[in-house]
């Protein structure tokens, strides 16, 4: 399974890329897309929505089941990837290209509170 | 967990395996959507060996089944002909749905679901008259080959079956050597179901795959049968509903003097509910089992729901108060929201063609 080392991860199977401007780009991991199966529906939050840490804010549904995606930190949604919602299968093809949303953290946060690739994969074993 | 004779082939193909009624079965081999489309557009195959064939033998076989089944085996006049029926309890509740093949006057073959097989056998044993024997055929494997190109590809892979099956009409089966081949299925497409000795199944599977028949898992089997408007036992019906409340009134023969288990109950009880199809109006979510449905004449519940790969929208079967009108709009509670859906008469898709009007 593919979990790039330059990304951060959560136990709830989100990946996080810390952008240069301090915003966080969020998607679901390769493990998550593989466990869910073919994705058929994605509901993204409104841009501007204020999220609490660990708040459910995206719904991804596969042929099998619905699953929530959680905000890794408190913050505001500054962008969403509508193209992914139009073509959910892209998340199966490349879960790291098909990002879901970008959050501007409400407070400065410590990246060390997130998992690195090795720790994330250890949690899957 | 139980394994079918094709289990090693599934593992070798990298299938994602899941527990289905105590059997370790393939959910998919990579992409459930691609497997679904293969069956609608070309040819796919399913390992259905977890289901059980029961041979009903003896001079009294026909009369025994006439009393045990809600559909009337007397309708089977030509050897090889198949009949779909419910098996009911005394209260008219559905114990199982099954296919029965008329092989000879003293031999019928009944195919029942995996999860209900032991219960069915016990039930049938309890009804059995002298002069009738029931034989569980766990020695047979089953492969369903389905899709518009299924028959051609099956014949290419297994040419020895062609002579016996070339002239088979829909819902007929025939013996071809040690293989029973029937033009039946659970997908809404043409094709065959094969019953063959377990030891021969891996070779047949391999030859079918080599002829371009795509292995498909239970995931695609479920979306295909849902599009075809076919019930899944344990989900769309169980002992708490009658065939009339499960969209299966057409399979029940109440007329005439024939008595069968559950008949009196069905005659005395007017169905309060019915099973209908639903299509989600927009793309605001996915219909799923157990979601609550609000119709003009009362509330009900989705029994099976999902994303239809052929229609590219969400569809469902739902049990609503009797009197649901096709074309009427309902609301479904989907993850905290109320989404608009429309009542339609299943099937949703048949022979690759959408049957749902645009709206």
Q: Are B45 and B204 in contact (CB under 8 A)?
A: no
Q: How many domains does chain B have?
A: 1
The answer as to whether B183 is a domain residue is no
The answer as to whether B178 is a domain residue is no
The answer as to whether B286 is a domain residue is yes
Whole-number Cα distances in Å, B129 to B44, B108, B111: 40, 15, 20
Instruction: List pLDDT tens digits, range B74-113.
Output: 999 999 999 999 999 999 999 999 999 999 999 999 999 9
Instruction: List pLDDT tens digits, range A19-75.
Output: 999 999 999 999 999 999 999 999 999 999 999 999 999 999 999 889 999 999 999
State the Cα–Cα distance between residues A12 and A71, nearest whole angstrom. Answer: 10
The answer as to whether A112 is a domain residue is no
The DSSP result for B274-324, as a single string, is EEEEEEESSSS----TT-EEEETTEEEEEEEEEEETTTTEEEEEEEEES--
Q: Are B274 and B324 in contact (CB under 8 A)?
A: yes
Q: Considering CB atoms only, which of B32, B283, B288 is closest to A38?
A: B32
The answer as to whether B293 is a domain residue is yes
Shortest alpha-carbon distance between residue B288 and chain A (Å): 8
ipTM of the complex: 0.86
Task: Name the one residue in this structure whose structure tokens are 């990304």.
Answer: A7
Instruction: List pLDDT tens digits, range B156-175.
Output: 999 999 999 999 999 999 99
- Among candidates B285, B276, B290, which has minimal Cα distance to B330? B276
* Helix, strand, coil in percent for chain B, rounding step 5: 25, 35, 40
Q: Are B21 and A52 in contact (CB under 8 A)?
A: no
Q: How many domains does chain A have?
A: 1
The answer as to whether B285 is a domain residue is yes
Instruction: List pLDDT tens digits, range B235-275.
Output: 999 999 999 999 999 999 999 999 999 999 999 989 999 99
At residue A25, φ and ψ (nearest 5 deg) are -95, 135
The answer as to whether A90 is a domain residue is yes
The average confidence (pLDDT) of chain A is 95
The answer as to whether B287 is a domain residue is yes
Cβ within 8 Å, pair B286-A61:
yes
Instruction: List pLDDT tens digits, range B113-156.
Output: 999 999 999 999 999 988 999 999 999 999 999 999 999 999 99
For the record, the structure tokens of B116 come out as 């209900």
Range of the domain at B311: 272-354
Range of the domain at A83: 8-106
The answer as to whether B345 is a domain residue is yes
- Whether pTM > 0.80 for this model: the answer is yes
Cβ within 8 Å, pair A61-B285:
yes
A66 contacts in chain B (CB < 8 Å): 285-286, 288, 335
Q: Which long-range contacts (CB under 8 A, 24 or more apart) does B17-25 make?
A: B18/B218, B20/B50, B20/B114, B20/B115, B20/B218, B21/B50, B21/B113, B21/B114, B21/B115, B22/B114, B22/B115, B23/B50, B23/B114, B25/B50, B25/B217, B25/B218
Instruction: List pLDDT tens digits, range B30-73.
Output: 999 999 999 999 999 999 999 999 999 999 999 999 999 999 99
The answer as to whether A123 is a domain residue is no
CATH number at residue A45: 2.40.50.100
Amino acid A125: pLDDT: 82
Residue B186 reports pLDDT greater than 80: yes
CATH number at residue B292: 2.40.30.110
């Amino acid at each position: 399974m593919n979990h790039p080392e330059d990304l951060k991860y959560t136990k709830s199977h989100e990946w996080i890329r810390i952008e240069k401007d301090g915003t966080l780009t969020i998607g679901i991991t390769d493990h998550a897309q593989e466990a869910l199966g073919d994705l058929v529906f994605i509901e993204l939050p409104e841009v501007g929505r204020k999220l609490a840490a660990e708040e459910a804010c995206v719904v991804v549904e596969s042929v099998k089941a619905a699953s929530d995606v959680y905000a890794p930190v408190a913050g505001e949604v500054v962008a969403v990837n509508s193209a992914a919602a139009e073509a959910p299968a892209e998340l199966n093809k490349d879960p790291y290209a098909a990002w879901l949303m970008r959050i501007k953290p409400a407070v400065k946060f410590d990246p060390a509170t997130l998992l690195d690739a090795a720790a994330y994969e250890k949690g899957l074993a | 967990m139980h394994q079918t004779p094709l289990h090693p082939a599934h593992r070798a193909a990298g299938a994602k395996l899941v527990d289905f009624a105590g059997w370790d079965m393939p959910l998919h081999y990579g992409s459930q959507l691609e497997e679904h489309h293969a069956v609608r557009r070309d040819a796919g195959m399913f390992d259905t060996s977890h289901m059980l064939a029961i041979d009903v033998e003896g001079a009294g076989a026909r009369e025994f089944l006439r009393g045990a089944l809600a559909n009337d085996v007397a309708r089977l006049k030509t050897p090889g002909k198949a009949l779909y029926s419910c098996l009911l309890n005394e209260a008219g509740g559905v114990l199982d749905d099954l296919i029965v093949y008329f092989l000879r006057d003293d031999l019928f073959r009944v195919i029942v679901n995996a999860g209900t097989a032991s219960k069915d056998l016990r039930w049938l044993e309890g009804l059995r008259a002298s002069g009738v024997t029931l034989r569980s055929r766990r020695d047979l494997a089953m492969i369903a080959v389905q899709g518009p190109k299924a028959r051609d590809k099956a014949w290419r892979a297994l040419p020895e079956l062609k002579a016996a099956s070339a002239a088979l009409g829909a819902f007929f089966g025939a013996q071809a050597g040690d293989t029973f081949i029937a033009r039946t299925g659970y997908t809404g497409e043409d094709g065959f179901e094969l019953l063959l000795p377990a030891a021969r199944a891996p070779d047949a599977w391999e030859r079918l795959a080599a002829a371009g028949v795509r292995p498909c898992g239970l995931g695609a089997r479920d979306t295909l049968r849902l599009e075809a408007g076919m019930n899944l036992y344990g989900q769309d019906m169980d002992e708490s509903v009658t065939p009339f409340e499960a969209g299966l009134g057409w399979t029940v023969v109440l007329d005439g003097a024939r008595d069968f288990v559950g008949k009196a109950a069905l005659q005395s009880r007017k169905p309060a509910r019915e099973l209908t199809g639903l299509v989600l109006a927009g793309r605001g979510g996915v219909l799923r089992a157990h979601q609550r449905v609000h119709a003009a004449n009362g509330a009900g519940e989705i029994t099976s729901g999902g994303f239809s790969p052929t229609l590219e929208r969400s569809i469902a079967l739902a049990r609503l108060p009797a009197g649901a009108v096709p074309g009427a709009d309902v609301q479904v509670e989907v993850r905290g929201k109320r989404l608009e859906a429309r009542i339609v008469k299943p099937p949703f898709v048949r022979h690759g063609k959408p049957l749902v009007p645009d709206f």
